[in-house]
Amino acid sequence: MNKSHVIVCIQTVLLLISSFCFSESIGVITYKEGEVSITRDEAELEDVDADTMIENYDVITTGNDGFVEMDMTTTPGQTLCITVMADTVFSVEIDEHESSETTTFEMFTGSLALKVGTLMKNETVDVQTESASMGVRGTLFEVTSEVTGDLLITCEEGEVVCIDEDGEEQTVEPGFVVEKNPGEKFRRNNIKKEELMAFRKEWRNNRRDAFKKDGLPAFRRYAVKFDRLYTVLIRLADELKKHADILERWKRSLKTGKKPPANQLKQDIKKIEPVLVEMKKVMNIFERVVTQLKLMEPYHQQGYLKGDMKKGFKVEQFYKQMKKKLHEITGIFKRVRRVVKLFIRMNNGHFPRQKARVKFDHDFDDYNPEF
């Protein structure tokens, strides 16, 4: 089937349900400076200001002059204070299942600081990046990710437990920082609390200088992932289109205010869940890949990244192809978020996030879902 035909079919199906998906506020912006935008479902919210509500699955982006402070409250009543620095992109997800609640910040790039009070035993708050996952409990810490995919974790109060792609753990507490490069082990260093701000600035500058000198390996790593995941995404979009009857049935159900019979709903969820879970997996990685490649493009335009993406295929050729694909890619991402919200409503408030979670990018090296 033609790729554009697949996208049009998905658009047609999902637009049928667009009016019936529900709003779910999970936090609020309390302070804002500069350029800040929110991607929600199929819309780009540009008039973001203090008092703008944050909803589940929102993607928050700050420009090079952007700065945001936001508060979120968990179901048990714990308040999370989040500070978002300039040039940052991340999404936030809260999943409630039975008696537990998980809050996850999927960080694509930039710098994010969190202040988390003492959590209940059934609460989990973590930050997910390309090569490490940070679990927190009663702490003030900051995670910074650079254009190279390198990672810096600092902590001013409490402690943060970091886990890498090999399952190795490293604890960060005041007086120490942890660095992590893709494919490498954690590195732990002593840094005094009063030196943290200067250290973070120097660290970021060093990473960017290193990318200018030899950024092609990092670029190639992301470019290869882009091509592989694009192919998978289009195939999954075709699979989701096959369930148009289920989405139409759910649309009628929401319009009348009555859910389908229990047996029918159970069958519908069983059929559509696998493809939706796989699409969410792809999104978790692909959005990070796209973000990193966008960040690398200005370096290329300034004369860095000279050479081939692969033999006979130059960097500028890759970016031309990527730009042609971005509209359909981002369109699928936005619409899938809307379908996920609809699924949650039909499934008593739950999405199987653990099934859809891919902790680290290398988990996709041999990814090839079958249905």
| Residue 34, SS3 per DSSP | coil
The more confident residue out of 244 and 102 is 244
Using CA of residue 129, residue 284, residue 21, residue 40, what is the dihedral sign? positive
pLDDT for position 309 = 87
Closest to 236 in 3D by CA, of 110, 369, 101, 113: 369
pLDDT, tens digit, 9 for 90 and up, residues 105-114: 999 999 999 9
Q: Helix or strand or coil: residue 358?
A: coil
In the chain, domain spans: 23-213, 216-364
For 180-196, the pLDDT digits (tens) are 988 899 999 999 888 99
pLDDT at 94: 84
pLDDT, one tens digit per residue, over 201-219 is 999 999 999 999 999 999 9
Instruction: Report whether pLDDT(7) > 50.
Output: no
Q: What is the pLDDT of residues 64-81, one digit of tens each?
A: 999 999 999 876 667 889
**pLDDT for 62:** 95
pLDDT tier at 9, thresholds 50, 70, 90: very low
In angstroms, the CA 55 to CA 70 distance is 12
Residue 357's pLDDT band (boundaries 50, 70, 90)? low
How confident is the model at residue 21, as a pLDDT?
42
Number of neighbours of residue 245 by Cβ within 10 angstroms? 11
pLDDT at 314 over 80: yes
pLDDT digits (tens, 9 = 90+) for 21-80: 444 788 999 999 999 999 987 788 878 999 999 998 899 999 999 999 999 987 666 788
Question: In the CATH scheme, what architecture does the domain 23-213 have?
Answer: Sandwich (2.60)
**168, 164, 181, 129: which is closest to 291 by C-alpha?**
129
Contacts of 38-47 with CB under 8 Å at 24 or more apart are 39/334, 40/337, 41/334, 41/335, 41/337, 41/338, 41/341, 42/18, 42/331, 42/334, 42/335, 42/338, 43/334
| Mean pLDDT taken over the chain | 85
pTM for the model: 0.83
Q: How far apart are CA 217 and CA 304, in angstroms?
A: 12
Cβ-based neighbours of 131, under 8 Å, separated by 6 or more? 149, 151, 164, 165, 180, 181, 182, 183, 360, 361
